[in-house]
Chain A
């Protein structure tokens, strides 16, 4: 009974913190501009199903894709067991699903154990890739101490949680021989290997071990769920809305600015002056996160810092400062900072800082070739280029601060209608020459 009350209390505390954090994230994303979501819902659902649920784009690189799949399936399936944990915890029962499932229950428990071991192996290999093999994409400039630590915390926590399941099952199997309260599961494939280690201990101690592992696992999972919302690991949830809201246009399309269309049409006499202009932004392009579309802000929370974008970026590959992953990390850091400011009851975004310059430099955005390699590489359909273009728009239109060579190109376009300084009258000379 005490355990049941404690469990209810644990769930309530968990619910409180999770809800608070979800609202925090929602409010920071809402700092962004609302943009209409267009295009067929069916296609959006299809993207979500194939890319987020089906992990289609992960398989461009087979080895990490396979290991990631092990963890992913383990995560989804083992969560079914968590459902049993929660019901047991509330009802004070033990393995409540077992009587309903009969012999199938043992089969399922064995499946879970195989998955748990799969997760263990995959996490171990991932730790080796990060810390021993030191894959370059996990050690580039923006991968400072916290992003690297975050990744390791996630992997180690997942391993510890899986070990807790196996240990609990081992103690449970011994207790099944000694006490009728413990529903027989039969010998389980992996955890039975631990039985010799525990067999000699007394029943009360084993009950303690089983209970400890049970509590450790369930509070571990709940605590981890809260941790995830502060971590890059949030991609396990945000990948779904992000793939749903991802743009459907061809990758080469750059979003139109209707407010500019109105002004240019008026200038060209294509539209009567004084056409009512709704949704006129404070300025053109983006200087800070509140100028960016909400979808870009959501994308920052969907990024798990895998670095596939950066490892394919031609600018980054040739030593330029631009890193598409850093663009996403900067947006998220700025979002979190703005959120903290607002909650502290202070200035919010007016803290003397902006996304442009304080997080992302002009040198970075100027280096982008808009080649779309980053967007193509992203397994969850994040598009860092959209953010870069919005920042460039601010610099070019609000500050006339584009690089001098670009300003010269603009001038050529205005006077000669070509980006180079050639007279328009010479445009057709190619047909006369040989």
Chain B
């Protein structure tokens, strides 16, 4: 895949309309790299003038801040802001709600002011503008899909509608879990929990959430966050349902329905 980087474009004296912030999970996690590629394909197909930072990108600092290491967070943040401001970045889209939250809410006070979108919002815009064309390959029509709200998208930033609007574009049968939207149950990975084992308890949070998702009878669990993807996928495996039930990111669903895979 030929993905333009910001440094290449700048060298050519060009500037993109939007920066695609890939995030660490999107760059390194085997499963989420597929989401990154799916979203990049959608952007290419829609002829969006975008770029990525490539190897210049670094962690936003989200897990450090939430684990209490404010120094490390601010080191990451101030370095990233220098880089982004140096390139004159105005608009950012990312497929990670944690990056989204940090870039959008926590960078401004440190001098980083950008228009930040989560990929669910950007996909919704592209769909509304008619720039995403679904083909006959869309086999999600009428299929039961449940959507798991990411805390950092939902409660943290009030983005409940955009991901659902994207699923509606698939003409899928969207079934809600009992705990959804503002009462959605966390997958268990937020607040840097992704990077350590859970404290002692009587159940894993992702098992609790996966059971709820499975009880809807949906054959696809849609997610919009790399950590939720890992947690729910592990939950489905633990319940030995990985043959019948697939965990997919919104971008993967749309790319499939566009025949872009």
Contact = CB atoms under 8 A, between A and B. Distances in A.
Contact of B66 (A254, A321, A391, A403): A254
A236 B58 CA distance: 48
B70 A320 contact: no
B12 interface: no
Interface in B135-149: none
Contacts of B67: 392, 396, 402, 406, 409-410
B68 A369 contact: no
A431 interface: yes
Contact of A256 (B1, B106, B152, B155): B106
What class of interface size applies to chain B in its complex with A? 35 or more
A433 B34 CA distance: 9
Top 9 nearest A-B pairs (CB, nearest first) are A252-B156, A392-B68, A370-B191, A319-B202, A396-B68, A319-B201, A417-B58, A405-B196, A371-B186
A428 B204 contact: no
B72 A251 contact: no
B184 to A, nearest CB: 8
Contact of B64 (A363, A413, A428): A413
A337 interface: no
A112 interface: no
Interface in A381-434: 389, 391-397, 402-403, 405-406, 408-410, 413-414, 417-420, 422, 424-434
B217 interface: no
B57 interface: yes
Contact of A409 (B110, B189, B195, B208): B195
Contacts of B3: 428, 431
A253 B106 contact: yes
Contact of A389 (B66, B155, B188): B66
A375 B182 CA distance: 11
B68 A261 contact: no
Given A250-B158, A371-B191, A402-B67, A261 B74 contact: yes
Query: Which bucket holds chain A's interface residue count?
Result: 35 or more
A317 interface: yes
B244 to A, nearest CB: 25
Interface in B74-99: 74-76, 78-79, 82
Contacts of A37: none
B128 to A, nearest CB: 24
Nearest to B65: A254
B199 to A, nearest CB: 4
B109 interface: yes
Contact of B195 (A405, A425, A428, A430): A405
Contacts of B33: 430, 433
Contacts of A403: 196
B78 A369 contact: no
B55 interface: yes
Contact of B105 (A252, A396, A419, A422): A252
Contact of A260 (B22, B26, B74, B199): B74
Interface string B1-45: 111010000000000000000101011100001001100100000
A120 B38 CA distance: 61
A367 B201 CA distance: 10
Given A261-B74, A424-B55, A254 B199 contact: no
